[in-house]
Amino acid sequence: MRKLSLTTTLLGVIILTLPADIANAAIVYPFEVLTSDSSYYDSPNLNLLVELSPQQNKVDFTFYNQSLLESSIARIYFDSGGLLDRIAAVTEGPGTSFSQPATPHNLPAGNILEPPFVTTEGLSIGSNPPRSHNGVNPGQWVQITCDLTDGGTFAEVIDKLNTGALRIGAHIIALPCGASESAIAVPEPATIALFGLGGLALLIKRRP
């Protein structure tokens, strides 16, 4: 599994106490390419992150591309596990342009996962044509704000991501030689262990 790179956006690692502190913490997950036979599986040069931040009855998911090679996050999908209700807003960073829903409607190659990745209706976005130009390229970001279902909490979102009950997928295009890949957000092994002890937050520099 690819280790999370220490980039200029990474501020540090803070041990938190669950569940009180996690309700106010930003949590970062790296993406990992699905297919182990891919040229980009476990590649340190393909560095994609999603930062989760809590709002009242909502969660912000901010997707960053910190790759050292040509790449564009063109599609983003949620398999919500019944915890996310709908996309309340999409905030486009400079140079990005997205619409709902993504096409195709399910994460490419998501059927190789166990259980298969099934995109929740209404919980996907795709970059507008030209897709590679308007996707999230290196140094760019896009943010998706999702409403929680009634009674849902940020701590539950983190718990379901760690257990795989909630999954976030991304389709990356415009890789060298015209390749494309699908990836899924995964907790690092150290993250899982520390959540069991008290919690891990990777706080990355907020955009201006």
The reported pLDDT for the residue numbered 187 is 87
What tokens does 7 get?
Answer: 């980039």
Q: Which residue has the higher pLDDT, 204 or 95?
A: 95
Residue 179 placed within a domain: yes
Is residue 67 a contact partner of residue 130, using CB atoms and an 8 Å limit? no
Residue 183 placed within a domain: yes
Q: What is the pLDDT of residues 132-186, one digit of tens each?
A: 999 999 999 999 999 999 999 999 999 999 999 999 999 999 999 999 999 999 9
Predicted confidence band of residue 25 (pLDDT cuts 50, 70, 90)? confident
The reported pLDDT for the residue numbered 189 is 53
Total number of domains constituting the chain: 1
Residue 145 placed within a domain: yes
Residue 75 placed within a domain: yes
Residue 7 placed within a domain: no
The reported pLDDT for the residue numbered 24 is 60
State the Cα–Cα distance between residues 142 and 208, nearest whole angstrom. Answer: 14
Q: Across residues 11-35, what is the average pLDDT?
A: 63
* Percent of the chain's residues with pLDDT above 70: 78
Residue 5 placed within a domain: no
How many angstroms separate the most distant Cα atoms in the chain?
47
State the Cα–Cα distance between residues 154 and 145, nearest whole angstrom. Answer: 12
* SS3 assignment, position 129: coil
pLDDT above 60 (res 23): no
Contacts for 18 with CB less than 8 Å, ≥ 6 apart: 155, 195, 198, 199
CATH code assigned at 116: 2.60.40
Nearest to 88 by CA among 44, 55, 117, 110: 55
Is residue 162 a contact partner of residue 18, using CB atoms and an 8 Å limit? no
Predicted confidence band of residue 120 (pLDDT cuts 50, 70, 90)? very high
Half-sphere exposure in the Cβ direction for 3 (13 Å, CA): 4
Residue 10 placed within a domain: no
Contacts for 125 with CB less than 8 Å, ≥ 6 apart: 75, 76, 87, 90, 98, 99, 100, 101, 102, 142, 144
The reported pLDDT for the residue numbered 190 is 46
State the Cα–Cα distance between residues 120 and 18, nearest whole angstrom. Answer: 28
What's this model's pTM, rounded to 2 decimal places? 0.82
Range of the domain at 154: 27-204
The reported pLDDT for the residue numbered 175 is 97
Q: What is the pLDDT of residues 32-72, one digit of tens each?
A: 999 988 999 999 999 999 999 999 999 999 999 999 999 99
Q: In angstroms, how far is CA 96 from the centroid of its own chain?
A: 16
The reported pLDDT for the residue numbered 26 is 84
